[in-house]
Amino acid sequence: MTVYIAREASKLWRKVCVETSVELQLLAEKWKLLLTGLLFQYIHGLAARGVHYLHRPGPTLQDLGYMILPELGRERGYISESLFTFVFLSFVLWTFHPFVYHSKRFYTVLLWWRILAFLVASQLLRIITFYSTQLPGPNYHCREGSKLARLPPPESIAEVLLINFPHGVIYGCGDLIFSSHMIFTLVFVRTYHKYGSKRYTVNLVVFLIDKKLPEMPDRSTGSQPMLPLNIKEKDGKPREENLKLLNGNSVDTADWRQRMQVNGTHGDDGNHVHSESAVNGVNR
């Protein structure tokens, strides 16, 4: 047991070292873009604080969403922030899983580069909208009578530039034409759906095809089977040549593999192995 743990720990350490080396090379190429995206998050926070100075409380506007899904209430306001914090932190941790797991479909640096690009575009549109149209905030701290509904004029430039986190982020007013929390959540969910859930779904389907179909009886009645399941070497012919005969063409397997790579049908090494196995009918 101790030997097994030591061997697996050694493999994990080598995996982390290799991934770190590759990611550092990508970071050296993309650090300016990543830094720009991070700096824009600060600019977005400054813009949200600036519109808070312009906010004026007023009657709560009628909203169909609040009628269908009533508000949680003042005493349950922590549920929303807790849920968003869980989504945010779990997604950040998930983006670093290629450092540990062998099956990967993306590089962490490139993924965050794309995420920040989408966030910058969305937040820029958000800044334009809430400065163009300022509505009274529906939150309890933004309503008439609350001390946080209006910010006193700043006494210095430092007061504007220094954002009180997390108080200044949670208790903002006047920037709710569409929510910043919703922007982050939608971008994170869409990213996971594209680079996470589909990978597991594809691997599961390929696994079932590879494991279950070879065990099924051949139901072809003299006709060519739909899938080349168990292609064995017969009459001295190699496996790939038999595959050509079953498919009824003479397409070169190397050319086929090259087209698969160009078309991007497999995004990582794990999917590549499963794809070749499913086509070549390799039984494991």
pLDDT at 207: 52
Residues 38-52 as b or e (16 or more Cβ within 10 Å = b): eebeeebbebbbbbb
pTM: 0.65
Look up residue 113 and give its amino acid. Answer: W
CA-CA distance, 172 to 243, in Å (whole number)?
64
Residues 221-235 have pLDDT tens digits of: 444 444 444 444 444
User: Could you read off the pLDDT of 74-104 as tens digits, one per residue?
Assistant: 888 788 888 999 999 999 999 998 898 877 7
Say how far apart CA 77 and CA 139 lie, in whole Å.
Answer: 10
Q: Would you write out the chain's pLDDT as a tens digit for each of its 284 residues?
A: 787 788 878 888 888 899 999 999 999 999 999 999 999 999 999 999 999 999 989 888 888 877 888 777 788 878 888 899 999 999 999 999 889 887 778 899 999 999 999 999 999 999 999 999 888 888 888 988 888 888 888 888 888 888 877 777 788 898 888 889 999 999 999 999 888 865 544 454 445 445 554 544 444 444 444 444 444 444 444 555 444 444 444 445 455 455 445 444 444 444 444 444 444 444 44
